[in-house]
Amino acid sequence: MFSFNPQTLKKLRRFRQIKRGYYSFLFLSVLLLVLAFGELLVNSRALLVSYEGELFFPTYTAFHPGTDFGLDYSYETNYRELKAHFAAQGGNNWVIMPLVPYNAYENNAQGGMFKPVPPSLDNQHYLGTDTTSRDILARLFYGTRIALVFALVFTAWVYLIGISVGCAMGYFGGVFDLFFQRVIEIWSNIPFLYMVIIVFSVIPSSLAIPSRIGILLFIMVLFSWTGMTYNMRTETYKEKSRDYIAAARILGASDTRIVFRHILPNVLATLVTFMPFVVVSAISAITALDFLGFGLPPPTPSLGELLKQGTANLRTAPWIVSAAFTTLVVLLTVVTFIGEAVRESFDPKKFTVYR
């Protein structure tokens, strides 16, 4: 049976006491949950279609051509039009649309022109549309999802590599340590953003968009793992020289056992406190790359791309930049609050001047 040790329980209690961080954490968890099932909330596909007595749930299935619902085209059904169509027919057929009936890609021209339209309840563009008449809420929603997932996976990989290399450096020391220190010094001096831009520009675009996002992730991890290693290395050095490690060694514990059973659990507390800040930097980095036009391949929805559009249309379409900016600020603030709370609750000195 898995149970937390009292130390950890104390930390968790402490975390719950820090209201700002705790509520931020709850907010982010709910947000992640909502985002995970986003297709049910923000989508151009209907939640439920009743046609000729038969029920359809198009959200997660293969596409339904218009012919499935008695329309005359073979491409994907436009469910908003279908809803109006059924309503006009007045039969027993009906459609239930999600809260926001748009996806992040479709150009839904209001008034026949592709141009930014201000937020409006009537046409259900709650945050307006962007320069090519795509729904901003939908783009923000899926952009945030991609950014968050991206940031979390990024953090996981950076930690995995950072901890492995750092721990090995600290534990084995000697030539191994010396060699990796130099490697890391060189590696971390390469300007991160430029390298990502340069390397990513030679990635062939014939690959599908998810794999290109994967490659971008890989490149970013490749140039970001170094930061973690030094913390890990010093921590491991410190723990390694403690008596309990010496005791474990005398008892005949293997290197693997010492590292995984003794050193890692004692070191992780420090590392956890960094985690939210790595997430913040990952979100900022991907947004910055998108803003510069070197990030996620178009037309992937992204915060940076919206910010870019927004700054380009500051005068004529202020709703673009305000929506994107607010989202980014809220997101980064929430994660930072969590980070602060985690750091404080993991701090052994409860009463310090650094409050």
Partner 1 sequence: MSKARPERPWLRLLAASVTTLALAACGGDDAGTTESAAVTEALDNSAEVQAYYAANPDFFIFKSIADLPADLTWESGAELPEMGSPEARKGGTEYRALQDFPRTLRTIGPDSNGGFRPLLLDDVEMRIGFRHQDAFDFIPGLASEWARGEDGKTFYIRLDPRGRWSDGEPVTTDDFLFMFWFHRSPYITAPWYNNYYSTMYTNITRYDDLTFSVTTAAAKPDADSKVLELTPKPQHFYSEVGEDFVDRYQWRVAPTTGAYTVREQDIKKGRSIALTRVKDWWANDKKHFRYRFNADRIHFTVIRDTEKIFEAFRRGDLDQSGLNLAEYWYDKLPDDAADVQAGYIHKSVFYNQRPRPNMGLWMNTARPLLDNLDVRLGIQYATNFQLVIDKFFRGDYNRLQSAQDGFGEFSASGIRSREYDVDKALAHFARAGFTERGADGILVNADGQRLAFTVSTGYQTMKDVLTILKEEAARAGLEFRVEVLDGTAGWKKVQEKQHDIHFAGFGVFLEMYPRFWEHFHSDNAYDDAFLDDGSINPERKIKTQTNNLETFAVFEVDALIERYRASADTEEMIAIANQIGNILHDHASYVPGFYQPFYRVGSWRWIRYPEFFNHKHSRSSGQLFVHWVDEEMKQETLDAMKDGKTFEPQIRYYDQWKE
Contact 319, 127 (CB under 8 A): yes
Pick the stretch among 31-39, 80-88, 154-162, 313-321 that binds partner 1 (CB under 8 A).
313-321
176 is an interface residue for partner 1 by CB under 8 A: no
73 is an interface residue for partner 1 by CB under 8 A: yes
Six-digit token string for 206: 């014939």
Six-digit token string for 251: 């008892």
Least separation in angstroms between residue 65's CB and partner 1 is 7
Question: Which one among 26, 190, 247, 329 touches partner 1, defined by CB under 8 A?
Answer: 190
Of the candidates 71, 43, 70, 67, which has an alpha carbon nearest to the alpha carbon of residue 57?
43
Residues 262-301 that bind partner 1 (CB under 8 A): 293, 297-299
Residues 93-112 that bind partner 1 (CB under 8 A): 105-107, 109, 112
> How many other CB atoms are there within 10 angstroms of residue 175's CB atom?
8
Question: Which one among 131, 164, 281, 322 touches partner 1, defined by CB under 8 A?
Answer: 131
Question: Which one among 3, 5, 205, 256 touches partner 1, defined by CB under 8 A?
Answer: 205
175 is an interface residue for partner 1 by CB under 8 A: no
The Cα–Cα gap between 181 and 168 comes to 12
62 is an interface residue for partner 1 by CB under 8 A: yes
Least separation in angstroms between residue 314's CB and partner 1 is 8
233 CB-contact burial (10 Å; exposed 0-12 / middle 13-18 / buried 19+): buried
The Cα–Cα gap between 102 and 107 comes to 9
CA atoms within 13 A on the CB side of 297: 18
Question: Which one among 1, 54, 55, 201 touches partner 1, defined by CB under 8 A?
Answer: 201
Least separation in angstroms between residue 1's CB and partner 1 is 38
Least separation in angstroms between residue 272's CB and partner 1 is 17
241 is an interface residue for partner 1 by CB under 8 A: no
89 is an interface residue for partner 1 by CB under 8 A: no
241 CB-contact burial (10 Å; exposed 0-12 / middle 13-18 / buried 19+): exposed
**Number of residues counted as binding partner 1 (CB under 8 A):** 49
Containing 265, the helix (H) or strand (E) segment is helix 264-292
Bridging pattern class, strands 54-56 and 48-51: antiparallel
74 is an interface residue for partner 1 by CB under 8 A: yes
Please say which residue, 21 or 38, places its beta carbon nearer to partner 1.
38
The greatest distance separating any two alpha carbons of the chain, rounded to the nearest whole angstrom, comes to 84
Of the candidates 81, 152, 135, which has an alpha carbon nearest to the alpha carbon of residue 323?
135
244 is an interface residue for partner 1 by CB under 8 A: no
Please say which residue, 26 or 109, places its beta carbon nearer to partner 1.
109
| Three-point CA angle 347, 3, 262, nearest 5° | 60
What residue type is 19 in one-letter code?
K
67 is an interface residue for partner 1 by CB under 8 A: no
246 is an interface residue for partner 1 by CB under 8 A: no
Residue numbers at the binding site for partner 1 (CB under 8 A):
62-63, 65, 73-76, 105-107, 109, 112-116, 131-133, 181-182, 185-186, 189-191, 194-195, 198, 201, 204-206, 208-209, 227, 230-231, 293, 297-299, 311-317
